[in-house]
Structure 1
Amino acid sequence: MTEEDSESVHTDSQAGEESELSVIQLCGLVEELSYGNSALKTETEMFEKYCSKLDSRDHRPQRISDVKMSAAEFAQLRSRRKSRSRPGGERMIGLTVEQKLDLVQKELEDMKDELRHMRANAERDLQYHEAIIEEAEIRWTEVQRAVHDFEKDILRTISKKKGSILATEKVLKYIEDMNHRRDNLRDKLRLKNISLKVQRKKLLLQLRQKEEVGEALHDVDFQQLKIENAQFLETIEARNQELIQLKLASGNTLQILNAYKSKLHRAVEMYICLGKEILLRKELLEKIDKETIQVEEDRAKAEASNKKLRKQLAEFRAPQVMMYLQEKILNGEMEKTIKMWERKVEIAEMSLKGYRKAWDKMKASNEQLQAICSPGK
């Protein structure tokens, strides 16, 4: 290619000065040459891949990778590059920038097509496996339901009525019902399969018609399709932005919901505490009501006694002065008489005590005499 020729000429022109260059400059030149070689290698591989695709399409046996130069041709080419007498000598024809750009664009389109096919195949496989999983889950649910129904309808009856004819008949009836259900399900699936086959034929016919119509499309139609595709992509991008906004709004809503949930939890706890406090206050209020009733009863009794005393006080009449004096004198005389009699009682008690002591002495002496006289007899 042209870049390789220019680099080779540049290196040949500086061949005489290599001995004068420093090690750092030589390392820099080596790095530049290695970078250029890697870029040329990448371009060559891409070009070989593109040519191999063209060869496979055109059924050409030769490939760019099969073309190899011998050592003599390589030495001759190098000697031509080193010769300065013929600056406009023979050079290998390289690709222009536009050709390289076309090649890269075609390679990029091929890669996109491959990725699209791989994505379609992956989605198809994913849908197939999801359908299998869904079918297995439905089947597992049906099996669990059947087991539950069998345990509910049959096993409990058999456990209650062992050896009875009713249990056997119930088991046979259950088996017949299950067979009848399976027959109905088989008929439904067969009809559904027939309808799906008819629908598949219709879709294939429509697809064939679309392909026939698609063969008659022109460049204008493809341009229109590209414009519509761009519009759809813009719409998809706008919808994606809306989806992102909705996700953000959903996140904010979820945060607000969590905050309200925490507030609700605190409110429920406060409600429970207030309920307990209300119960305590009600019990205290009932106790206070009972005490109030008791106090009211005591107050009623006190009022009744107060009324009675007030009535007695209202009916009380003070006696006359002479009568009061007579009663007072009589009361004083009676008190004196009481004191005198109390004194007499005390004297009588003292004399009684003396008599009792004398009696006790006489009784003791009598007992001693009896004790003395009894052994003499």
Structure 2
Amino acid sequence: MTSRGRSSISQHSRSISQYISTSDADELTDDELVKQVNELKHQIKILTLENEILEKCIMRIDPSLMHGILQALEYAFKLHGSSSSLNLGSFAKSTSKFGMLESLASPSRLLTSPSRISTRRVESSARMGTGIFAAGPKINVLERSELVSMEMEILVRRLERSRAKAARQQALLKAQLEELGLRSVEIEKATEAFNQQVIIEGWDKIAQRIPAEVWIRYMTDWFRVSDKEIGKLRLRTSTLNTQYTKLKGQIKVKAELSESLRPVDFEKLKIENQQCLELIESKLHQLAELKKMTGDANLNLAIHKKLMMEQNAYLMKVQKDILQKKQLVINLDKEREKIEDQADTLQDKYNDVKKVRLAYEVPDIMEYVRVKSEVADLRHVVKMLDNRFHVQQIALKSLNRKLHSMFFE
């Protein structure tokens, strides 16, 4: 709490009595009255917070102190009831009193929260000038600041505990939601499988029903799969229980060790931590050197890798050329074999022509003339024979016509 806030609280606590002690003859305008009411509401809010803090401190330190305060508040309530029959005068004065003593107007609120209402009554009655607590000790600004700091620390601790509890509850609910999600997915899969295998595929169109053996086979398979999954889950559960027991034992051992620790142990742990830090520092230095060496090695590796890639590219080119040359050699071998076959064929023809040429003799001219004359005579004889055959054919046809005409007549 700042000094400005502390001074404002003290000013508010002093100004209430001034507003209440205003004479009935004072006349206030509407704007002033509204402003005064708003200021009183603000002061009542601040005083309510102070009363709540005081009540919490008293209930935390010694709840039995609240009995005397309750009796004093009852006396103040009676005093307020007796003084209410007097002529209060102006509307502003009655409004301020009602705003300060609104907690005393309902007895049911006194029954529901006596401690809170009692503190409000103590503060209101003390500032009204009734004299009940006027002679008692007052709380200064430093004490108020200490009380507020203590209450803030307590509230922060409670908030942290509530936050941790809420986190655990949220984790539990999240796990339950995940479990329910998995269950719903499994149920949907089982329903779809049942509908597909039993209701759709198992329907007998002839008998118009689902055979019992389909149902029994489906249930048998389902129980077998379920038993297998249950076995896996049991094994996993036993493993988790073993791990939980182990971790629980470790936590128990650590708790026992923490109870038996001494300042010497902390000094020893500090020395060990210092040694470990030095070792870590040296290891980090070595790691930096290793990173430097690794960088150089990576650079050399990149250079050699580039050269190797170039050599591989040249090697692939050479291999490709070798394959092309091999294919060319194969084609040339085929052409050579074809040419050799053609050469053998031509050689055979040449040999035949050579034999014919060696065996061939040029005939005599007179012999050639004689042979040609005989050939011409033979051709003339063949032509005459053809003419004779043609004449005989014509004669045969005429005889056949005559014979035909003779028989039909």
TM-score range (shorter-chain normalised) is 0.3 to 0.5
| Length-normalised TM-score, structure 1 | 0.40
Relative to the length of structure 2, the TM-score reads 0.37
